[in-house]
Structure 1
Amino acid sequence: MAAAKHTIVALVADRPGVLNRMASLFRRRGFNIDSIAVGHSETPHLSRMTIVAEGTTTQVEQIRKQVEKIIDVIRVQDITSQDIVTRELALIKVKATAENRSEIMQIVDIFRAKIVDVSAGSVMVEATGDEEKVDSLYNLLKPFGIMEMTRTGRIAMPRGDQVNRRTDVESEK
């Protein structure tokens, strides 16, 4: 079975150390985390964590079971095979001159990105979309000179009525 990127979503308690325990578990099992994003969920005092890691389905299922045992984890799912929506946010600071600024703006426009900061020698672009879109925009802006870039990593949710949230049965552990 070949290794592939998996998207794992966990609902966790908003408590100090939860992120560290999750990351340590992946490290101990020899998994490299490609990206990890954490933010508040629709439920007070719970956060949704999206982790992207590479492994076989069997390996990822084993680590999912281990993550589920962490006391502050309410629920964890590998949603890779589900019908999901994924997004990533990137801020890209690009060298810009009076001569090339309009060309940069055209590229940004094509990708439905936004220019969020302008200075005499640069523009900062905000891009949202799937990883391929962000990669493509980056590659087109690279010849102008990338000064800095930061990316959030993947966030994901199942489409439609599917949910990954705490239910009445899954009360406090």
Structure 2
Amino acid sequence: MKKRWLCLFVENEVGVLARITGLFSAKAYNLNSLTVGTTQDETASRVTISLFSDDQLFEQIKKQLNRMVEVFKVIDYTDIDIYRKEIMFLKILKCTENDRTFLFQFSEVYGIRILDFNKDSVLIESIKAEEENNLMLQLLYKRLDNPVEIVRGGSVAVEAV
């Protein structure tokens, strides 16, 4: 099993995303991440999908996506140079003054932003590759015992120039 990345250009119409995700659920394919946004052409959307699969299953997925009428183009990003980022919000709860001080220092070192804080919580924004966000979470969990509310957006990706 290998982490795979796909970029789809699809019709920007009601129900298209449901049909794409329906294809994955009907075949019991599990998506790791999915993001959708309009492109410079408002009639088209760009879909970025990450999943874990073997070669055979991945080829089957690409063929099935290519057969969908609403899909203009399928690009396999798996083995090419791409830039990827995901947005992650962390709300650290039950913070002491020492926790807040640590989090402000941590944000400087790791290049993340403190969006808001009060006497007992801190809201952090991190826009990094998924693996970097995972590493940062591990480091925070080693240092803090606080409850953490995590909100993660799916990764977006673009081919390198």
Q: Could you say whether these structures have the same fold, taking a TM-score greater than 0.5 normalized by the shorter chain as the test?
A: yes
| Structure 2 unaligned spans of 5+ | none
Aligned residues of 1:36 and 1:153 also touching (Cα < 8 A)? yes
**Identity %, equivalent residues:** 28
5+ unaligned residues in a row in structure 1: which ranges? Answer: 161-173
1:54 aligns with 2:52: yes
- 2:20 corresponds, among 5, 15, 22, to 22
- Partner SS state of residue 100, structure 1: helix
Mapped to 2, the partners of 1:44 and 1:153 lie a distance apart of 21
Aligned to 2:77: 79
* 1:170 counterpart residue number: none
Question: How far off is 1:144 after superposition?
Answer: 4.2
CA RMSD of aligned residues (A): 1.3
The 4+ residue runs of structure 1 with deviation greater than 6 A are: none
Structure-1 residue corresponding to 2:150: 149
User: Does the 8 Å CA contact 1:40/1:47 hold for their aligned counterparts?
Assistant: yes
Using the alignment, how far apart are the partners of 2:92 and 2:54 within structure 1?
37
Report the counterpart of residue 36 of structure 2 in structure 1. Answer: 38
Deviations 1:73-113 (A, max 9, x none): 11111110111111111000012222221111111111100
Distance 2:152 2:158 in 1: 18
- 1:129 aligns to 2:105 (yes or no): no
> Aligned pair in 2 of structure 1 residues 89, 130: CA closer, same or farther (>3 Å)?
same
Measure, in 2, the Cα distance between the counterparts of 1:65 and 1:33. 17
The structure whose residues are more often helix, as a share, is 2
What's the secondary structure of 1:88's corresponding residue? strand
The one-character-per-residue Cα deviations of 1:33-70 (angstroms, maximum 9, x if unpaired) are 11111112222221111111111122112111111122
| Alignment-derived partner of residue 105 in structure 2 | 106
Q: Which amino acid aligns with 1:159?
A: A
1:66 counterpart = 2:30? no
CA distance in 1, matches of 2:84, 2:97: 35
1:147: Cα distance to partner? 2.7
Q: Distance in 2 between matches of 1:121 and 1:46?
A: 44
Instruction: Provide the aligned length of Structure 1 versus Structure 2.
Output: 158
Output the TM-score relative to the length of structure 1. 0.86
Measured after TM superposition, the shift of residue 120 of structure 1 is 2.0
Distance 1:111 1:144 in 2: 19
TM-score by length of 2: 0.92
3-state SS of 1:145 partner = coil
